[in-house]
Structure 1
C-alpha cells in the first residue's frame, strides 16, 4: 500500500508522516518511508532537489522546472518506492507527482495539457492508495517555517521557490484543494491547526489501519468554524490574544512567535509565562522593543538564547545604551551574532567592535556595513575581500552573498563592479542589494528578472515612487504581496490606489503597508473595513491587534 502526504511548505506533512511511520512500525507493520527524516532516500533525487532549490538557478523556465521535479520523483519511484512496495506492507512518501503538478499549474501558470502528460508518463501507471492533504493557513505555515529557522539557524541561500513571494503558497494551496475535490475517495483533508500533534498522529494511524482493512474513510470536510464578527481594532486585539492564549497550551512556539513586536503589560505577562518553555522565541519576540521590561527579559534570556537575544537588537533597540552591555557580555559566546547586530551602525562603539570581531566573524562584520559607503567602510570590505582571495572570490557563492548584504542600497561604481562579479554565484542576492536604488542599471536588472524573482525585485522597491516602480507593483502585485510591503508609509494617490486595488487579495499586507498612516482616521477606517470583510484572516487580525490603541486585555491562561 502506498500512502502519500501532500501540502504546502510548513504544513507539517514531513513531521506528521515521519511520526506516523514510527507509530505504524510500533504497531508491528513493515513500513518504508522514502523521505525518512526529511531526506529523500535516493541520492540522485536529493541532488535534483538541491538543484531546484538553489537560487543561483534563477533562469530556470517553468517547463525546465517541471521536468526536473518530474525527474526527481521518477528516480525516487523507480529506485526506492517500487522496490519497497514489493517488500513492505506499507510505503509512505512525503510528496509525490502532485507536488510537481501543483507547482507547475497553479504556481507557474502552465496549462494542464502540458503538465499532465509529462507526469503521467513518469508515474508509469502507479497511483497512490491514499493521499492525506495536510492543510493549514499559509500564514501559520510561514510562521512554522520561520520558527524552525529561529530555533535552528541554517547558513546558506534561501530557496529558489521563495523568490516567487508569499503568494505562491496561497496559489499552491488552491491547487491542492482542486486536486482533492477531483478525487474525494482517494484524498483526505487533514487540518493541521487547533489540535496537538499527538492527536493528529493517532488519527492518521487509525485511518491508515482502516484503509489496510479495505474500509473506506468517511468523506473529509473542513471544520465549520464561525468567523468572528469584528467591528473595531479593540475587538481584533481581544480576539487575537484569545488565540494566543489557546496556543500557549496547544503550540506554545506559535504563541511566542506571534508576540513579536507587541508591547504592553499583559503581553509581558504572556512572555513571562512562555520564557521557560520557549526562551529562543520569546527572545526573538523582543525585536526592536526598548521598554524596561524588554531589557530585563533580554538579560534573563541571554544565557539560554544568546543568538536570538542579540537578534532582537533591531530598530530603536539597536543603538540604545543597554544594547552595548548585552553585546559585551555575549562577545565570546556569540561573536557572529554580535557582529550582525551592528548592521548599518556608524558610531564609534560600532566601529570599535567591528575591529575586535574582524578575525572571528569577518563575514558578519562586512555584512554589517550595509548602507555605509564611506572610505572607512570600503577599507574594511577590501581587507575582507583580500583575505578571501581577491576580486575573483566574488564568484564564490558564500563570498558573493556576504558582499551583496554589505552593498545593499549602495549605488557607487565600486558597488556595481562587485555586483557584476557576484551575479553568476548569487543573482538573487544581487537583486536584493538594489533596495532603494533609482538608477538605469538598477531598473534594467529589475525589469529583466522580475518574472523569475518577483519577491526579490519588489522588495528592492521599498520607498521608491518612480513610475517604473509603480508599473512593476501594478503588474506583479496580484501575485506577490511584497508589492504592498514596498509602499509602507507612502500616502500619495498611487499608493492608496494600489492598496485599494489589492486590499481584498492581500488584506494583511494592505494594512501593513499603512505604516505610520495606521493611526490616521483614513487608516483606521481602511483597516476596520477589511477586518469586517476578512474576519478569518489571521495575519490581518494580528496586525490590526498591534494597531489597536488602549490597554491590552488582562492575561488569562487558556486552561483557567
Structure 2
C-alpha cells in the first residue's frame, strides 16, 4: 500500500507522516517511510533536491526545474519505493510526482499538456492508494517555518524557491486543492488548523488501517469558526481570542503572532507565554520600546540572549536600555550583540564593534549595512584581508556577509564586490541594492525580477518614484511583496495599487498602510476587507493594529 503526504512548505506533512509511520509500526504493520526524518532515502534524489534549492542556480528555467523534480522523484521511486512496495505492507512518502506537477503548472505557469506526459512517463503507471493533503492557510504555514528557524537557526543558503515570494505558496495551495478535487476517492484533505496534531495522527492512522481492511473513514474537520469581525475593534478582540486558544494548543504560534504588537493586552499575553516559550516571547518584542517590553527583555536576557538582542531594532536600537543589555550580554552572546548594532554609526557603536571584532568579525562587518564612511570601508577591508583577500568573495559565506554589509551602498567599491559575489550568491547581491536608484541598480533589478521577485521587490522598500511604481505594477496580483515595499506610502499610485490588490492580498494591503491605518481612509479600507475576508487570520492581525488597547479587564474577560 502506497501512502503519500502532500502540501505546501510548512503545512506539517513531514511531521504528520513521521508520526503516522510510528503509529502504524506500533499497530504491527511493516512500514517503510522513504523520507523519514525529512531526508530522502536515495542519496541521488537528495542531491537533486539540494541542487534545486540552491539560490546560486537562480537562472534555472521552469522546464529545467520540472525535469529535475521529475528526475528526483523517478530516482527515489526506482531505487527505494518500488522495491519497498514488494517487501513492506505500507510504504509512506512525503511528496510524490504531484509536487512537481503543482510547482510546474500552478507555480511556474507551464501547461498541463507539457507537464503530465513527463510525469506519467516517470511514474510508469504507479498510483498511490491514498494521498493525504495537509491543507493550511499559507500565512500559518509561513509562520510555522519561521518559528522553526527562530528556535533552530540554520546555516547555509536560503531556498531558491523562496525567492518567488509568498504568492507562490498561495498558487501551490490552489493547485493541490484542484488535484484533490479531481480524484476525491483517493485524496483526503486534512485541515491543519484548529485540529491538534494528536487528533490528526489518530485519524490518519485509523484510515490507513481501515483501508487495508477495505473500509473507509471520513476525516474530521476543524472546529467551527468564530463569528467574523466587522470593525478594527472587533478584529482586535477576535485576534486576542485566537491567541488565547493557541496559548493552550500551540503556544509557539501564539508568541510568534504577538511579534511587534503594541498595547497592554498584547503585553499581558506575551508575559504569560514567556515561561513556556522564552525565545519566541523575546523575538516578539521586536522594535518595542515601552516599559513593559524592557522589563520582559531583562527577565529573558539570560535564558534567551540572542533573541532578546535580536529584538533591539528601530525605536529599541539606540536607547540606554539597549546599551545596558548589550553590556550585560556581550560575553555570553557576542555575535548577537554585534548583529544588534546594524545601522548604528555612533562612537559608542564603533567602540563596541572594536571590542567584538575578534569574537564575531562576520557579524561586526554585517552590522555596517548602509554605512559608507571611510571608517566603515577600512573595517571591511580589514575583515576581507583576514578572510583571504578579494578572492574570498568567491566563497559563499564571505560573499553573503559582504553583500549584507554593502546593502544600500552605491559606490564603485560596493559594485566591485557585487560583481565578484554574483556567481556564488546572486540572491544576496540582489538584496544588497536596497534603496538604490542608480541606473546600475535598476538594470540589475529588471534583469532578474522574473527569477527572484521577492528579493528584487524587497529592494524597493520606501521608494516613491516612477520607475519603482512601474516595476511594482508590472506584477499584477502575483506578488504580495509588492505591497510590503510600499509601507506607509501615500499618493495616487500607492492607493491605486492597494485598491487593485486588496482582494488578492488583504492582509498585506492593510499592513502596507502603516500609520495610514489610523486615518479614516485607511480604517475604511481595513473594515471593507474584514467584511469580504472574514476568515483571514493574517488580515485580522493587521487590522487589530488599528484598534485601541483592550487591556483593562482583558484577563477577566478571557479567563
Query: TM-score with structure 1 length normalisation?
Result: 0.98
C-alpha distance in 1 between matches for 2:321 and 2:12: 39
C-alpha distance in 2 between matches for 1:116 and 1:552: 55
Counterpart of 1:476 in 2: which secondary structure? coil
Match of 1:303 in 2: 302
Counterpart of 2:331 in 1: which secondary structure? coil
Match of 2:366 in 1: 367
Contact between 1:34 and 1:40, CA under 8 Å: does it hold in 2?
A: yes
Counterpart of 2:462 in 1: which secondary structure? coil
Match of 2:85 in 1: 85
Contact between 2:25 and 2:31, CA under 8 Å: does it hold in 1?
A: yes
Counterpart of 1:3 in 2: which secondary structure? strand
Q: Is 2:349 the counterpart of 1:358?
A: no
Alignment of 1:129-278 (within 5 A): 129-218=129-218, 225=224, 228-278=227-277
Match of 2:30 in 1: 30
C-alpha distance in 1 between matches for 2:557 and 2:58: 46
Match of 2:383 in 1: 384
Query: Unpaired segments of 5 or more residues in structure 1?
Result: none
Please say which of residues 239-248 and 549-558 is displaced more in the overlay: 549-558
Alignment of 1:517-532 (within 5 A): 517-532=516-531
Match of 1:117 in 2: 117
Counterpart of 2:91 in 1: which secondary structure? strand
Contact between 1:2 and 1:90, CA under 8 Å: does it hold in 2?
A: yes
C-alpha distance in 1 between matches for 2:221 and 2:64: 35
C-alpha distance in 2 between matches for 1:9 and 1:435: 27
Cα drift, residue 498 of structure 1: 0.6
Task: String of CA shifts for 1:203-260, please: whole Å, max 9, x gaps.
Answer: 1111110111121344x68658456332211000001100001111111111111111
C-alpha distance in 1 between matches for 2:150 and 2:228: 34
Match of 1:430 in 2: 429
Q: Is 2:475 the counterpart of 1:476?
A: yes
Instruction: Quickly say closer, same or farther: Cα 1:77–1:57, change in 2 above 3 A.
Output: same
Cα drift, residue 149 of structure 1: 0.6
Task: String of CA shifts for 1:286-315, please: whole Å, max 9, x gaps.
Answer: 111111111111111112211111111111
Counterpart of 1:188 in 2: which secondary structure? strand
Q: Is 2:331 the counterpart of 1:332?
A: yes
Contact between 2:31 and 2:90, CA under 8 Å: does it hold in 1?
A: yes
Counterpart of 1:514 in 2: which secondary structure? helix
Match of 2:512 in 1: 513
Counterpart of 1:547 in 2: which secondary structure? coil
Cα drift, residue 521 of structure 1: 1.3
Counterpart of 2:433 in 1: which secondary structure? coil
C-alpha distance in 2 between matches for 1:411 and 1:73: 44
Match of 1:541 in 2: 540
Cα drift, residue 195 of structure 1: 1.7
C-alpha distance in 1 between matches for 2:44 and 2:419: 33
Cα drift, residue 557 of structure 1: 8.7
Match of 1:13 in 2: 13
Query: TM-score with structure 2 length normalisation?
Result: 0.98
Cα drift, residue 554 of structure 1: 3.9
Task: String of CA shifts for 1:11-49, please: whole Å, max 9, x gaps.
Answer: 000000001111111111111111111111111111111
Alignment of 1:89-100 (within 5 A): 89-100=89-100
Q: How many residues align?
A: 559
Contact between 1:508 and 1:540, CA under 8 Å: does it hold in 2?
A: yes
Cα drift, residue 367 of structure 1: 0.5
C-alpha distance in 2 between matches for 1:358 and 1:309: 21
Match of 1:45 in 2: 45
Match of 1:489 in 2: 488
Task: String of CA shifts for 1:364-417, please: whole Å, max 9, x gaps.
Answer: 110000000000000000001111111111111111111111111111111111
Cα drift, residue 553 of structure 1: 6.4
Contact between 1:270 and 1:555, CA under 8 Å: does it hold in 2?
A: no
Instruction: Quickly say closer, same or farther: Cα 1:256–1:69, change in 2 above 3 A.
Output: same
Counterpart of 2:190 in 1: which secondary structure? strand
Contact between 2:195 and 2:223, CA under 8 Å: does it hold in 1?
A: no
Cα drift, residue 556 of structure 1: 4.2
Contact between 1:477 and 1:484, CA under 8 Å: does it hold in 2?
A: no
Please say which of residues 439-448 and 266-275 is displaced more in the overlay: 266-275
Alignment of 1:286-297 (within 5 A): 286-297=285-296
C-alpha distance in 2 between matches for 1:558 and 1:209: 44
